[in-house]
Amino acid sequence: MQAAKKRFGIIGVGGYIAPRHLRAIYDNGGELMCALDKHDCVGVLDRYFPNAEFFTNEAEFIEYMRANRLDFLSICTPNFLHFSHIALALQNGASAICEKPLVLESNELSALEKLESSALDSSSFLCQPRVYGILQLRLHPQIQALKAQVENELMRNPKHIYKLSLRYISARGKWYHKSWKGDVQKSGGIICNIGVHLFDMLAFVFGDFVGNELAHYEASRASGVAHFAHAQVEWLLSICASDLAHSSHNQALRILEEDSRALPSARPALRIDFSQGFEDLHTASYNEILQGRGFTLSAQKQAITIIESITKQALS
C-alpha cells in the first residue's frame, strides 16, 4: 500500500528562497495544500502546485490550517518573523521547516524548545511536531568530503590547528539596503543573514566555536578571525560587487583555503570552492527530514550562538 503524501503549507511563497522549498516538496513527493504571502504575484506555484490554496491574509491562512491538518509548515519569511511562524506551526500540530537563520537570538531558541516540548506532549495531535532548520552546507558533497578528511587527519594529530581563510562574496544591488535584509533589527545584519550557514559549516567541520576577533564591520562587509577547536579562520563576508572585480566568479564566490605556510607536512593545502552546488541542497535537506534525520533545534544552537556573539561585538 502506497504511503499517503505528506501535507505541506508554506509561508512567504513570494520570496527569493521559496522556489527551492517548493521544488524540495515536489521532488520528495509531498503535496502543497496552502500558501501565504502578502504579495499576490506568486505564479511560481503553477510550476509545482497549481491547485494549492493561496492566501494574502494571515488570519484566513491560519483558519485553513486549523481546518485542514498539515504535516509540515515551510517558513520562508523574513528572519525576524521566523519565531512567530515556527510557533504557529507547533501550535497547530505541524512540524516547522524554517530557512536560516532559525531565529536571531539564543533566548528565542530556548523559547522554541519549550514550545516544541509542549507540542510533543499534547495528546490532541496525531503526529509529533518538531522544528527543523535548513543547514544545507552540511549536506554539500565537498563539505562532507572535507569533514571526513579533517577527521582522518585529526586522528593522527589531535592537537592540530588549521590556519584558514574564508571568503564569501555574494553581490547584491542597491535594493538590498532598502529591503528588510538591510535592516539589522529584521535580518540580524550581514553576519547573521549572510554568514550563519558558513559559521555553522566551520563548526561542523572544525569543532566547537571558541571566540572571534572582529576586524571590520559595516552594512555591506564584515571581517574578522574566528577560532574553533581545530581551526583559526580569517573570514570575509561581503555583498559588494567590487570585491569580485579580480575574480572569475560573476555573482558569488565561496572559497575556504588553507595557509600553505602553516602545513605540518608536504600534503597539498586545503582549498574548497563551493561557489556552486547549492541548487539541490534544499531537496536533500527535505529528504533528510522526511527520513527522520533532519537538523533539529539542538543542531541549531552552535550557529545561533556564533552569530549572536559576533553580531554583539559588531554592534557594541
User: Tens of pLDDT along 94-127?
Assistant: 999 999 999 999 999 999 999 999 887 765 656 7
Reported confidence tier of residue 137, pLDDT bands at 50, 70, 90: very high
Q: Do 48 and 125 share a domain, yes or no? A: yes
CA distances, 47 to each of 12, 50, 119 (Å): 16, 7, 34
Q: What mean pLDDT is reported for the chain?
A: 91
Listed residues 85, 111, 133: the one ending a domain: 133
Position 294 in a domain: no
pLDDT at position 54:
98
d(CA 120, CA 111): 14
Reported confidence tier of residue 262, pLDDT bands at 50, 70, 90: low
Q: What are phi and psi of 168, to 5 degrees?
A: -130, 105
Reported confidence tier of residue 269, pLDDT bands at 50, 70, 90: confident
Rg, C-alpha atoms of the chain? 20
Secondary structure, 3-state, 75-129: ECCCHHHHHHHHHHHHHCCCEEEECCCCCCCHHHHHHHHHHHHHHHHCCCCCCCC
Q: Do 38 and 165 share a domain, yes or no? A: no
Grid cell locating 290: 522526511
Position 297 in a domain: no
pLDDT at position 127:
72
pLDDT at position 275:
76
For the cut 70, the answer to whether the pLDDT of residue 247 exceeds it is: no
Cβ-based neighbour number of residue 51 at 10 Å: 9
Structure confidence by residue, pLDDT tens digits, 189-244: 999 988 999 999 999 999 999 999 999 999 999 999 999 999 999 999 999 988 88
pLDDT at position 274:
80
Report the range of poorest mean pLDDT among 2-6, 111-115, 141-145: 2-6
Listed residues 117, 133, 149: the one ending a domain: 133
Q: Do 188 and 205 share a domain, yes or no? A: yes
For the cut 90, the answer to whether the pLDDT of residue 2 exceeds it is: no
Domain count for the chain, please give it.
2
Q: What are phi and psi of 315, to 5 degrees?
A: -95, -5
Q: What are phi and psi of 292, to 5 degrees?
A: 80, 20
For the cut 60, the answer to whether the pLDDT of residue 249 exceeds it is: no
Reported confidence tier of residue 250, pLDDT bands at 50, 70, 90: low
Position 285 in a domain: no
Grid cell locating 148: 571526513
Q: What CATH number corresponds to the domain at position 232?
A: 3.30.360.10
CA distances, 204 to each of 2, 125, 273 (Å): 37, 34, 17
Secondary structure, 3-state, 49-70: CCCCEEECCHHHHHHHHHHCCC
Listed residues 133, 163, 179: the one ending a domain: 133
Q: Do 165 and 311 share a domain, yes or no? A: yes
Arithmetic mean of pLDDT, 274-303: 90
Helices (H) and strands (E) in the chain, counts: 12, 12
Residue 77's domain spans which residues?
7-133
Position 284 in a domain: no
Contacts 24+ apart (CB under 8 A), 148-153: 149/270, 150/205, 150/206, 150/230
Q: Do 266 and 158 share a domain, yes or no? A: yes
Position 290 in a domain: no
Note whether 240 and 230 are within 8 A (CB).
no
Q: Do 141 and 251 share a domain, yes or no? A: yes
Q: What CATH number corresponds to the domain at position 66?
A: 3.40.50.720
Note whether 131 and 102 are within 8 A (CB).
yes
Arithmetic mean of pLDDT, 174-178: 92
d(CA 228, CA 205): 10
Report the range of poorest mean pLDDT among 117-126, 165-174, 278-287: 117-126
Grid cell locating 176: 538590498
Q: Where are the beta strands (DSSP E) in the chain?
A: 7-11, 31-36, 53-55, 72-75, 95-98, 131-133, 162-170, 209-217, 221-228, 231-238, 252-258, 271-273
Reported confidence tier of residue 30, pLDDT bands at 50, 70, 90: very high
Q: Do 21 and 125 share a domain, yes or no? A: yes
Q: Do 169 and 306 share a domain, yes or no? A: yes
Judge residue 95's burial from the number of C-beta atoms within 10 Å of its C-beta, 0-12 exposed, 13-18 middle, 19 or more buried: buried
